[in-house]
């Protein structure tokens, strides 16, 4: 059995966890909106058409923010088409996904839905086919109380109080040639600066996110961030990162090391932000919004067969394997290790489209990746302790990778929580941590997500094939924590602090 030791000190705090790191994403793509969160004809729908079985699962995830309405969709988005009486809303073609958008679920429906599932909006504006004027008008519609054309238009649409949206994405993946309205870094940087400026003049209390690179492999990576921020540094608070991974060559051990590349990506973007800060002699720090991340590769082949110009066809409906859940856990742990800079993150997406939740006309169920998301989102709040991990590693295409990924978080409700991934496909691993600096601790919860088959899935017929179970291998003796991590497993360990001493 391999061995891994974590060294930490309760006084060495890396950063508080910004709860928005557990955000998600709803795009007008495939069956995410229609047949996902919204399906008026469904027996599960309420009077507004929102599926209540889906809403219940979303509440279990405890999602603090949801990015909307895209994604690639937003670059051609005309928000005015999505408000007002539904019978007057036009059906439009969407060039991003080559489908017909009915606009029957729009901005105000989305805002009603966010309240129902206890989340907050992260709204994106189009800086692809549109620009400053449309952005100014949209925030006037959403955030002003009344007395102006667009705020009064909202009131005429039956929404008396402003939506008061505080977090805004200035476009989406503008570095990508696939993007409708793709721009150079100079073109986008200047547009983001002026759009952000106009939006802040309408509402000075908002936060804005500039588009960073669409992935680490983009040929413009690095120069893009430097150029964009050199233009719009004073008008933005965050820069975005996007990254997806997939086991395309069947090498599961190498695939599970993908978060090593994610770690490098975050470090490099943070360094570029700080380089621009230094060049500008600024006191302001730009942080990171990792607002698209997930596993995405299972559906690539079937998506090529979709008939264009239909309404909400099944697209990007990845059926996730157990090994995908392990990587999702490692990716979330990696972002938490950068909690000092990663303040916002969005798993893409929430329902049906590369999602933790799937639906049919007869049910909604949890994919394998639902469980690490749920556990870390609910119990990974508080502050991250700076830790050092010592243990065996292996060579991967991404660089040296530890067999064990681990993070320790002190929760505000007097718990110390560990999230642990053993990505070793052959051996168990004994994890130890000296916790004698704490006066008194006791093991309160030990949950294990494990399956002998890396390709095991959850389906409507077998929704509980991959589920967490209570662990039995943790012990705490004389302040020393020991837990045996089964091979290919994700584990959550919660220790209750005795606050009476």
DSSP element (H, E) containing 370: helix 370-379
Catalytic pick from 140, 292, 317, 323? 292
pLDDT in single tens digits along all 501 residues of the chain: 999 999 999 999 999 999 999 999 999 999 999 999 999 999 999 999 999 999 999 999 999 999 999 999 999 999 999 999 999 999 999 999 999 999 999 999 999 999 999 999 999 999 999 999 999 999 999 999 999 999 999 999 999 999 999 999 999 999 999 999 999 999 999 999 999 999 999 999 999 999 999 999 999 999 999 999 999 999 999 999 999 999 999 999 999 999 999 999 999 999 999 999 999 999 999 999 999 999 999 999 888 888 899 999 999 999 999 999 999 999 999 999 999 999 999 999 999 999 999 999 999 999 999 999 999 999 999 999 999 999 999 999 999 999 999 999 999 899 999 999 999 999 999 999 999 999 889 999 999 999 999 999 999 999 999 999 999 999 999 999 999 999 999 999 999 997 554
Q: Confirm whether 19 is a catalytic residue.
A: no
Phi, psi of 251 (to 5 degrees): -95, 95
Residues comprising the chain, all counted:
501
Q: pTM of this prediction?
A: 0.97
Q: Where are the alpha helices (DSSP H) in 88-131?
A: 107-116
Distance CA 77, CA 294 (A): 24
Strands 207-210 and 238-245, by their bridges, are parallel
Q: Which of 109, 173, 193, 374 is catalytic?
A: 173
Q: How far is CA 415 from CA 20, 143, 289, 380, in A?
A: 20, 38, 27, 10
Cross-strand pairs, 168: 123, 208
Cβ–Cβ under 8 Å, residues 352 and 427:
no
All domains in the chain, ordered by first residue:
2-11+384-497 (2.60.40.1180), 18-348 (3.20.20.80)
Whether 292 is catalytic: yes
E strands present in 74-162: 92-94, 99-101, 120-125
Nearest partner of 348 among 197, 160, 146, 122, judged by Cα? 122
SS3 call for 357: strand
Distance between CA 222 and CA 299 in Å, rounded?
30
Phi, psi angles (nearest 5°) of residue 156: -65, -25
Alpha-carbon distance 67 to 27, whole Å? 8
Q: Which of 48, 112, 25, 81 is nearest to 290 (CA)?
A: 25
């Amino acid at each position: 059995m391999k061995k891994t030791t974590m060294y930490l000190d309760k006084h060495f705090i890396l950063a508080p966890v910004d709860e928005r790191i557990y955000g998600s994403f709803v795009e007008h793509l495939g069956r995410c909106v229609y047949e996902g969160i919204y399906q008026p004809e469904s027996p599960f729908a309420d009077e507004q058409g929102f599926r209540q079985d889906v809403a219940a699962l979303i509440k279990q995830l405890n999602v603090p923010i949801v990015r909307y309405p895209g994604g690639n969709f937003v670059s051609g988005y005309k928000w005015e088409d999505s408000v007002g009486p539904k019978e007057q809303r036009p059906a439009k073609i969407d060039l991003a996904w080559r489908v017909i958008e009915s606009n029957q679920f729009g901005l105000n429906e989305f805002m009603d839905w966010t309240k129902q599932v206890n989340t907050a909006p992260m709204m994106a504006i189009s800086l692809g086919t549109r620009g400053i004027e449309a952005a100014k008008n949209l925030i006037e519609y959403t955030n002003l109380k009344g007395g102006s054309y667009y705020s009064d238009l909202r009131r005429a649409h039956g929404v008396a109080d402003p939506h008061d949206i505080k977090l805004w994405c200035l476009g989406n993946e503008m570095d990508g040639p696939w993007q409708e309205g793709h721009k150079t870094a100079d073109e986008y940087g200047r547009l983001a600066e002026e759009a952000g400026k106009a939006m802040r003049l309408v509402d000075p209390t908002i936060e804005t996110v500039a588009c960073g690179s669409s992935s680490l492999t983009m040929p413009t990576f690095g120069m893009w961030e430097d150029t964009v921020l050199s233009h719009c540094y004073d008008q933005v608070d965050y820069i975005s990162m996007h990254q997806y991974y997939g086991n395309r060559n069947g090498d599961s051990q190498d695939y599970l090391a993908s978060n090593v590349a994610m770690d490098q990506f975050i470090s490099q973007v943070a360094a570029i932000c700080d380089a621009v800060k230094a060049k500008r002699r600024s006191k302001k720090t730009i942080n990171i919004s990792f607002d698209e991340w997930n596993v995405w590769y299972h559906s690539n082949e079937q998506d090529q067969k979709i008939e264009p110009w239909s309404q909400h066809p099944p697209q990007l409906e990845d059926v996730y394997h157990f090994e995908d859940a392990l990587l999702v856990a490692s990716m979330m742990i990696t972002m938490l290790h950068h909690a000092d800079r990663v303040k916002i993150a969005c798993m893409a997406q929430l329902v049906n489209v590369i999602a933790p939740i799937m639906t049919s006309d007869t049910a909604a169920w949890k994919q394998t990746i639902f469980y690490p998301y749920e556990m870390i989102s609910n119990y990974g709040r508080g502050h991250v302790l700076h830790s050092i991990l010592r243990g065996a590693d292996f060579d991967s295409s991404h660089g040296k990778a530890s067999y064990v990924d681990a993070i320790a978080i002190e929760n505000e409700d007097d718990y110390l929580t560990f999230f642990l991934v053993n990505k070793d496909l052959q051996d168990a691993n004994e994890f130890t941590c000296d916790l004698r600096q704490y006066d008194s601790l006791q093991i309160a919860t030990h949950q294990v997500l494990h399956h002998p088959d890396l390709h095991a899935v959850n389906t409507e017929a077998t929704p509980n094939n991959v589920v967490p179970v209570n662990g039995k291998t943790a012990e705490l003796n004389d302040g020393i924590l020991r837990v045996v991590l089964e091979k290919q497993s994700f584990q959550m360990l919660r220790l209750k602090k005795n606050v009476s001493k």
